[in-house]
Amino acid sequence: MTSHLHFDFSVNKDNNTIHVEREFAGDLETVWDCWTRPELLDLWWAPKPYRTRTKSMDFREGGTWLYAMISPENVPHWCRADYQSIDPHKSFSGLDAFCDEMGQINTEFPRSLWNNRFSAGEGVTRVVVVHVVVLRGHDERDVGQRCEAAGGGGESGEVAVGGGRVLVGPAALPIDPRVVLAPVAAGG
């Protein structure tokens, strides 16, 4: 296992962006699967001590992932991701939102755009995540362009895949990124 894996985390409150760049000790296909298959996402996506439960997932452009982050008191906090673009084993992006159990978006909260890029190295896979909080009153297309110009979940954990264990997840997002940028979202 590689002991010195690359990790970088930055927050730009002026642009409402979080940038995470991280290497994982695993091959590209395995790391991609950990980000795109619900049975694997459920193992690591929610920040501890929460857990994730997928209700439905249609991983394709125009598809949706409907999931709950469940508190230690068993209270579900529903979210949905609307997949916008997918380039298999290279990148995907999606617009995330808080919602109800049926997937109806809660407009009281801002949405967030995730742009995730994957690249293989020698014995590692690098994932670059650019996360943009979409403030109410902003055009989501404009935010998407800002996300791409900037270079563009959950707590990391180990996921058992194919008889081995792979560390996955951004690791730099101990809480929902919308909380990091909450003063900006509130206009402060």
User: Quick check: is 11 in a domain?
Assistant: yes
Share of the chain above pLDDT 90, in %: 42
User: Quick check: is 58 in a domain?
Assistant: no
User: Quick check: is 17 in a domain?
Assistant: yes
Name the one residue in this structure whose structure tokens are 């159990």: 101
pLDDT band at residue 3 under the 50/70/90 scheme:
low
Distance of CA 18 to the CA centre of its chain: 11
Name the one residue in this structure whose structure tokens are 């008191």: 73
User: Quick check: is 30 in a domain?
Assistant: yes
- The domain in which residue 142 lies consists of 7-49+88-94+111-182
User: Quick check: is 64 in a domain?
Assistant: no
User: Quick check: is 68 in a domain?
Assistant: no
Name the one residue in this structure whose structure tokens are 């590692």: 124
Q: Is residue 165 scored above 60 in pLDDT?
A: no
Rg of the chain taking only CA atoms, in angstroms: 16
Per the structure block, which two tokens stand in for 10?
Answer: 């930055």
Q: Is residue 5 scored above 50 in pLDDT?
A: yes
- Residue 148: HSE in the Cβ half-sphere, 13 Å Cα cutoff: 11
User: Quick check: is 132 in a domain?
Assistant: yes
Q: Is 41 helix (H, G, I), strand (E, B) or coil?
A: helix
What is the number of domains present in the chain? 1
Query: pLDDT tens digit string along 166-180?
Result: 333 443 333 333 333
Mean pLDDT for 10-35 is: 88
Query: pLDDT tens digit string along 120-139?
Result: 998 899 999 988 887 554 44
Query: pLDDT tens digit string along 68-83?
Result: 999 999 999 999 999 9
User: Quick check: is 71 in a domain?
Assistant: no
CATH number at residue 24: 3.30.530
Return the closest-CA partner of residue 132 out of 123, 120, 121, 140: 140
* pLDDT reported for residue 65: 98
